[in-house]
Homo-oligomer: A and B are copies of this chain.
Amino acid sequence: MHRKLLLLCAISLIYFTRNISPILASIAFSIIGYLATDYLIPKVSNSYVKIGLHGKDMSKPGRPLLPECIGSVSAVVYVFIMLFYIPFIFYTYLSSNNGNNHGETAILETNPQVAIFPHNKLAEYLSSLLCLQTTILLGVADDLFDLRWRHKFFLPAVAAIPLLMVYYVDFNVTYVLIPKFVMNWLNLRDSSVINLGFFYYVYMASMAIFCPNSINILAGVNGLEVGQSIVLALLALINDVLYLGMGIEATKSRHRFSAALIIPFLGVSLALYKWNRWPAKVFVGDTYCYFAGMVFAVVGILGHFSKTMLLLFIPQILNFIYSVPQLFHLVPCPRHRLPKFNENDGLMYPSMADLKTTKPKPIVLRVLKLLHTFKLIHLEYEEKTKEIIACSNMTLLNLILVWSGPLREDKLCERILLIQFSIGILSILLRHSLGSIMFGHDNLWDIH
């Protein structure tokens, strides 16, 4: 009943505010996205299980079977609501030109509308959707066929081609600002920027590879994949609101674009979170992780704040750096590194990598001991020989458990989300305070 009421509110919001702001329409579409996702997930779950898309929840007593890849519902709903959204983003342009070029005068292709309508904005929006859809296709292929790393690693960069293309023709801003002290140090007083040229495109393509994969890697407890995406979306939105409220006109349109993409994303993600949070009734799958990561890459690239966006990904970056010794097999890496569930007390414990059968090199062992001194890893010793026989797996999840002791799954997830949010807020604050000192100015307050 109150679902229908909410739907009615959303539709009225779209109708009555269509001339005012596309952001209000995006809130309405976000509500519709939430309702559609929340309605569809229980409807389609059985069909997913039937075609073999299911997995065991290892951190529950009895390891119940749950439908997998349900995040693809969120992703597809997002694409469909964003298609319906297109006319409303450009409503003011469409309605103001409405009617002046119908009928016989419009026989030739030359059309006054072509000049007035912001085709570059439309191309930006379409390229974003295209990039996200390509990512979804890639995710679906991975969910269905379990693609190999070397096959799927570069594909997100291909998905980003339309994005980079639009970036090239619309902006082609390929310089980066250099902090004042570095300029002084490098004797670059005449210029405060370095033009990276082609390499800036390589950097953006790398971002399109990094964001989707980093969300996919920081996973393993109920609600974490969606939870971190929601936190990231909120942080990006806070940054957008800062610019929309206090920023100068030149930056406003980019952050309006960013908000227009992120608000509906929040809607479909919250609905997924409702079903995926502890105790999970569904799993999200790779499709959602890739899709969510790409939303942030798209927004960062076309919103011209890819570096600020990367600041919000600090926990993911730390998780990756922390994982490197195991990813590169300096330390033995078991197939699964999820925290271990203890059925007796219902808590999660750090999972351990066995260092007995394949022994790391002495130098690695020494580094492990050092990390242990700083409480960055948990080590197990043989009682007699005092030899290291196991270390906790190097993921952020296990590290939290090393720090805090065993936790229930939902508390563990909450703690990581809280860390992500705190670091994110701090980064935004530092970026606009320290940033303006280091670079001599900040684009939130002024532009040179």
Q: Which residues of B contact A108 (CB under 8 A)?
A: 250, 447
Known: A102-B172, A123-B122. Is A87-B51 also a contact (CB below 8 A)?
A: no
Tell me the complex Cα distance, A119–B165, Å. 11
B113 touches A79 (CB 8 A): no
> B83, A159: Cβ atoms under 8 Å?
yes
Question: Which residues between 117 and 162 of chain A lie within 8 Å of chain B, taking CB atoms?
Answer: 117, 119-120, 122-123, 126-127, 129-130, 133-134, 136-137, 140-141, 144-145, 158-159, 161-162
Neighbouring B residues of A199 by C-beta, 8 Å: none
Query: Which of B103, B134, B145, B173 is the one whose CB lies under 8 Å from A106?
Result: B173
Interface 0/1 of A248-283, CB less than 8 Å to B = 001000000000000000000000000000000000
CB pair B137–A133 under 8 Å, yes or no, is yes
For the residues of A in contact with B, the DSSP-based class is helix
Check if B123 sits within 8 Å of A161, measured CB to CB. Answer: no
Residue in contact with A119 in the complex, picked from B120, B171, B193, CB distance below 8 Å: B120
What are 16 residue pairs bridging A and B, where the CB atoms are less than 8 Å apart in the complex?
Answer: A51-B52, A79-B137, A80-B158, A83-B134, A90-B169, A94-B168, A101-B172, A104-B175, A104-B193, A106-B175, A107-B447, A108-B447, A114-B170, A119-B119, A122-B123, A137-B140
Known: A83-B161, A106-B173, A134-B83. A145 touches B47 (CB 8 A): yes
Residues of B within 8 A of A162 (CB): 83, 86, 126, 129
| Contact partners of A440 in chain B: CB under 8 A | none
Asked whether any CB of chain B lies closer than 8 Å to the CB of A44, the reply is: yes
Q: Please tell me which one of the listed residues B93, B137, B166 contacts residue A136 in the complex, with CB atoms under 8 A apart.
A: B137
Decide yes or no whether A17 CB sits under 8 A from chain B: no
Chain A residues numbered 427-448 whose CB sits less than 8 Å from any CB in chain B? 447-448
Q: Which of B94, B109, B161, B166 contacts A122 (CB 8 A)?
A: B166
- Kindly state whether residue A374 has any CB partner on chain B within 8 Å: no
What is the total number of copies of this protein in its complex?
Answer: 2
Q: What residues of chain B lie closer than 8 Å to A181, measured between beta carbons?
A: none
Task: Confirm or deny: A195 has a beta carbon within 8 angstroms of a beta carbon on chain B.
Answer: yes
A76 within 8 A of B: yes
User: Is B174 a contact of A102 with CB atoms below 8 Å?
Assistant: yes
Nearest Cβ in chain B — how far from A67, in angstroms?
A: 12
Measured CB to CB, the closest approach of chain B to A135, in angstroms, equals 11
Q: Is the CB of A102 within 8 A of B134?
A: no
Instruction: Verify if A334 is at the interface (C-beta below 8 Å from B).
Output: no
Q: A84-B161, A193-B104 are in contact. Are A109 and B79 (CB under 8 A)?
A: no
B contact residues around A103 at 8 Å (CB)? 175, 195
Per the bound structure, the CA–CA distance linking A371 and B119 in Å amounts to 54
Q: Which residues of B contact A117 (CB under 8 A)?
A: 120, 169-170
B-contacting residues, A24-58, CB 8 Å: 44, 47, 51-52
How many angstroms from the CA of A80 to the CA of B152 in the assembled complex?
Answer: 13
Known: A120-B119, A175-B104. A169 touches B113 (CB 8 A): yes
Q: With the chains together, A448 CA to B104 CA distance in Å?
A: 11
